[in-house]
Structure 1
Amino acid sequence: MILNKKEIVEFQWTHSRSASYLIFALISLLYFYNFHVNDIWTPNESFYAEAVREMFESGNFVDIKYNYEPRYNKPPLTYWAIAASSAIFGLNEFGIRLPIVLMALGSIWLTYLLGKRMYGQSGGYYAMIIMALGLQLLAVKQYASPEVPLTYFFTLTMYWFYRGYEDRSTKYLILSYIALGLTVLTKGFPYIIVLGGIVGFYILLKNWGQWKQLWRDIVFLKLPLGILIIGVIGLSWVIFMYVKDGQEFWDIYYTETFGRALQKKSNGMKPFFYVGVLSWTIIPYSLTFFYSIVYWIMNRKESKKVLFPIAWITVMFVIFTVSKGKIPTYIIQAHPALALMIVPMFIGDKVPKLAIKTIHFIISALLISGMTYLIFELNLSLAFYLIPFTLVVVTILFILKKDGFRFSLILPFWTMFGFMIVFTSFLPRMEAFRAYDEIGRIVTENEQIDKNTPLLLDAWLIQNLPYYTERKNLRDFSPAMINEYAEGNETLALLPKDHLKEINFKHDVLWEGLIYSFASESQFFKFTVAVNQALKGNTEKFETYVLIHKP
């Protein structure tokens, strides 16, 4: 590959550590921007925030409880990470989400290290930018749940395995087993099968036809030692809880791990479910990934350099496709591999310049258009229009610049970066219709309300209210049930204002306001649309609630 002088300057920049460090610093700023401004989201984030609050309240960090009832669904490492952060920074949105953001950044850095190890400095640089701005990782980067911790320990396992295997280093091999144990302690023992399958398939592909070498590599893995390490770290909590709580624990834990894959009802195998997920999960580079599949099929002789990501993606795709329970977030742990499949196209000797420039221009143009519409639709400050304007100017210069191919490689990164700045700037305005912390302050600061008085909910369980009110919440209490409960008890209840006329006891109204009328905020696009409409005066997706109290 022959480069002109201008390309050499660009090449040297992307091959420098300084470029990687600077880009990582900018990524970190984006990830920390407004990450703590929103109340705890419903439903999943609420489970982890409240469970950690109850850990501090009880002083018991082994038994996991939510709303004062055992929660055996997931292993404890995510809870412990949140608890450690909260012990330092306080039990608040900042302390709860900080370890998640840090592990998201850690996953990005590990992807950089893998890319650098496999393809050199520029390989690490491009792997990092592809990983960092993938849509699905951005969606969960500050959400206190196991997806990001799982991604971090999963990627750490892969990184240390790759170093141990390629360098014949027992030290890194043992570290990979420790990381796998922590992966199991984060999400459950089925990931022994997933990660073990990736490692086994990679070794098989690399030694295909060389069966003696294959056996030597298997022996090198020191599997008995690895199984011992994984078992001690990953299964210690499971064994402890089974001894302590018996079959009750095991039934729930098994259902939430293997049961999801083997027993969950579905409408069929849905063989193309994760093909659909792959089409958007690493936007703005999803289309580039699909092109990379074609590229490596056409250049099969060079495909040995991507055997590791091929094994990684293939095993995950097959296992989760066969699994009956299908959730898009299961594919996030494949993001590093998707990036590693793409990167060699950017830096190899047979770079498909025209195809990549075309794909990246189309994606970037769509993102800039979407960003401009978003600024208008969300009624953001006119100053935000400078972002798409600047990107348009730079894109035009890129089109006119005949030797600007290397800039085209990162153009989707910058357009997605701008898009996220615009959207994340809207997050604080959402709190106008999320009064959960306000309700919590009213309850916890009122000295007339006994701390042991539960909150009665005339509806579904609003999952973050146990966290904010610091008490047990009882769901599905109709006005008649609230009246009956109030006959001999102090009563604290949250109910739709329309139902207040059915309450037959004297009470004080402590709060009145709007609450989202759908049971979950996890359908985030739908919730964002509802909030934006409410900010414009259309509150049909919200219902007026009142908080009442009888001493």
Structure 2
Amino acid sequence: MGYRSFIIPIFIFICSFFVFSANIGGLSIYSLDEAKNSECAREMLERGDLIVPTFNYQLRTDKPPMHYYFMMLSYKLFGVNEFSARFFSSFFGALTVLITFLFGRRYLGEKVAFLSFIVLVSSLHLSVQFHMAVPDPYLIFFINAALFSFYVGFTEKKKVFLYLFYVLMGLGVLTKGPVAVVLPSVIILLYLFITKNLSLKNILFLRPFSGLLLFLIVSLPWYVAVYLKTDGKWVYEFIFKHNIHRFSQPMEGHGGIFLLTFLFIFVGMLPFSVFIIQAVKRVWKDRNDFLLFLMIFVGVYTIFFSISKTKLPNYTVPVYPSLGIMLGYYLSKIGLSGFKSIISSVVFYIFISLSAVIGLYFGIKNEPPISDLSYLSFWFLILVFGGIFSLFFFLKRNYTMGILSLSVFSIFMGFVFFYKAFPPVDKRNPVMQMLPLIEKNSTVVYYRNFNPAFVFYLRRYIKPVEKNQIGKILSKNEKVYILTRKRYLKDFGKFENAYVLKVVKDLFEKKISALVSNRRQ
């Protein structure tokens, strides 16, 4: 048992990392969030500055520094590139699956824990999330590790886990701010209240004073330092703009009805979320203290972000590990469920997968830069086949093969997506299309607006120019490039030496990037 308990977690970690790191170095840093986070870390490393985050050498107040630190370490180890920017995202993704397995095994046994692992590595959305150079992979780990530590420390009366809880929560605050302390606190208080453990004796056992001191030692120094170095500007904008305002008002068009959050979770946890109703019923029926804790974790997070005015799919990803254990618990007892409900769920999954193929086909077809790549949508038929194989085995009441069919085909689809289906699309983004046209060491500026990924790849300050400066810039003797948007090209019309080298629509966005120069290529 000792050898088995050691080797299986290693297998879990290696497999998870293998899935979450598929082709992380082969895809461009293009999305706005990835570009800004990756470049911010690069600039901090370049300056040797551990305090003030900047993008394009201007103060960036979006996120605290924890993920920047890991990116900086990765840049030191592997150089500044796509692989380095994403390496620790994949690493923390694998750690998240590992601690979920260990946590589930501790209270529900190895079978449930292993099924939870299968559920998590089969989620395409989770894999995408752990592929990205953003703070979310780190936050997902710290929040889950913190709450898992609390549960172990409280229920087993182990103080070391309670102190670990405060340390991890402090690291979470250094990753994404107040959300890492507010929601875990609500979850814990609600858990204590529902289980009738909300007493002064239990509160004191949680070591709130020494714990708070430990939490502040971990999280406060950087906030004080950045406050002093930016005259309070970073702290003010981060708290009011990126937290309070983001919760009270839709930001960047990311709004929607409260049901959207539930949809995000359902789609994000496919393929096994088709059993989510059965899983909730089974967990509620068999509930014990541990399963109740998982339900509270999932419920608080889901409800909180359903009432938040800004809604994004990544906000609720921290519930995936707990939901994964709940689904794993259901799958371990799937033979006890109604046979018709199992079959209907798998049929529904086949329908969803087929709808996704059709939707992707027409979605790509109607996206001008990649309209000729609509055939790539047929790769997603892999998911349909997975559903069909699963249905075949479930009809024969071979539940093990039915579960494995859903998982294996979904994981295989992930590798196909990152290595075969998405790379051709990625090459069509405006940054990859325009970079070859920009001569090395030439002057590059921007007018009004531009794609932020250019800063990461050019690795220099891209200076803004005003409308009355365009003529002066274009009249320079050396070759000059101006990054802008198509909507602003009218402002270049009166200049005879303004040559539009390239106009490319940003993928799946309304913006259209443009590259202007004072010389023809």
- 1:231 counterpart residue number: 216
1:165 alignment partner AA: F
Partner secondary structure for residue 90 of structure 2: helix
* Contact residue 16 and residue 121 of structure 1 kept, 8 A: no
- 1:46 counterpart residue number: 35
RMSD of the TM alignment (CA)? Answer: 3.7
Q: Does 1:254 align with 2:254?
A: no
Aligned residue pairs: how many? 501
Q: Does 1:127 align with 2:121?
A: no
Residue 396 of structure 1, CA deviation:
6.3
Q: Which of 251, 254, 265 is matched with 1:278 structurally?
A: 265
Pairing 1:34-433 to 2, within 5 Å after superposition: 34-206=23-195, 208=196, 214-260=199-245, 263-264=248-249, 270-297=257-284, 299=285, 302-348=287-333, 351-352=336-337, 354=339, 357-366=342-351, 369=354, 378-379=374-375, 391=386, 394-395=389-390, 397-399=392-394, 401-402=396-397, 404-424=398-418, 425-433=420-428
* Contact residue 63 and residue 175 of structure 2 kept, 8 A: yes
* Contact residue 444 and residue 469 of structure 1 kept, 8 A: no
Q: Deviations over 1:65-103 (max 9, x none)?
A: 101111122110011111111110010001111111111
Residue 52 of structure 1, CA deviation:
1.7
* Contact residue 483 and residue 516 of structure 2 kept, 8 A: yes
Partner secondary structure for residue 310 of structure 2: coil
* Contact residue 456 and residue 473 of structure 1 kept, 8 A: yes
Residue 477 of structure 1, CA deviation:
5.2
Greater shift, 157-166 or 20-29, is seen at 20-29
1:332 alignment partner AA: V
* Contact residue 146 and residue 169 of structure 2 kept, 8 A: yes
Matches of 2:356 and 2:189 in 1, distance apart?
A: 43
Matches of 1:308 and 1:251 in 2, distance apart?
A: 35
Matches of 1:322 and 1:501 in 2, distance apart?
A: 45
1:472–1:388 distance in 2 versus 1, CA, 3 Å: closer
1:87–1:247 distance in 2 versus 1, CA, 3 Å: same
* Contact residue 73 and residue 253 of structure 1 kept, 8 A: yes
Greater shift, 29-38 or 329-338, is seen at 29-38
Partner secondary structure for residue 267 of structure 2: coil
1:543–1:307 distance in 2 versus 1, CA, 3 Å: closer
Query: Matched residues, percent identical?
Result: 20
Partner secondary structure for residue 33 of structure 1: coil
Matches of 1:246 and 1:388 in 2, distance apart?
A: 53
Q: Which of 466, 490, 493 is matched with 1:502 structurally?
A: 493
Matches of 1:501 and 1:70 in 2, distance apart?
A: 30
Q: Does 1:483 align with 2:468?
A: no
Q: Deviations over 1:497-527 (max 9, x none)?
A: 97697364658x7x944522x4xx5xxxx36
Matches of 1:48 and 1:97 in 2, distance apart?
A: 10
Matches of 2:101 and 2:192 in 1, distance apart?
A: 22
Greater shift, 245-254 or 139-148, is seen at 245-254
TM-score by length of 2: 0.83
Structure 1 unaligned runs (5+)? 1-11, 531-540
Partner secondary structure for residue 446 of structure 2: strand
Partner secondary structure for residue 492 of structure 1: strand
* Contact residue 143 and residue 169 of structure 2 kept, 8 A: yes
* Contact residue 446 and residue 483 of structure 2 kept, 8 A: yes
Matches of 2:457 and 2:14 in 1, distance apart?
A: 34
* Contact residue 36 and residue 55 of structure 2 kept, 8 A: yes
* Contact residue 456 and residue 482 of structure 1 kept, 8 A: no
Matches of 2:381 and 2:245 in 1, distance apart?
A: 47
* Contact residue 154 and residue 179 of structure 1 kept, 8 A: yes
Residue 495 of structure 1, CA deviation:
5.3
Residue 251 of structure 1, CA deviation:
2.0
Residue 135 of structure 1, CA deviation:
4.0
Residue 117 of structure 1, CA deviation:
1.5
Matches of 1:426 and 1:546 in 2, distance apart?
A: 31
1:269–1:416 distance in 2 versus 1, CA, 3 Å: closer
Matches of 2:422 and 2:103 in 1, distance apart?
A: 33
Q: Deviations over 1:335-374 (max 9, x none)?
A: 1121222232233598315256325522553466468767
* Contact residue 383 and residue 410 of structure 2 kept, 8 A: no
* Contact residue 205 and residue 307 of structure 1 kept, 8 A: no
* Contact residue 481 and residue 515 of structure 2 kept, 8 A: no
- 2:365 counterpart residue number: none
Greater shift, 78-87 or 99-108, is seen at 99-108
* Contact residue 389 and residue 402 of structure 2 kept, 8 A: no
Matches of 1:273 and 1:315 in 2, distance apart?
A: 16
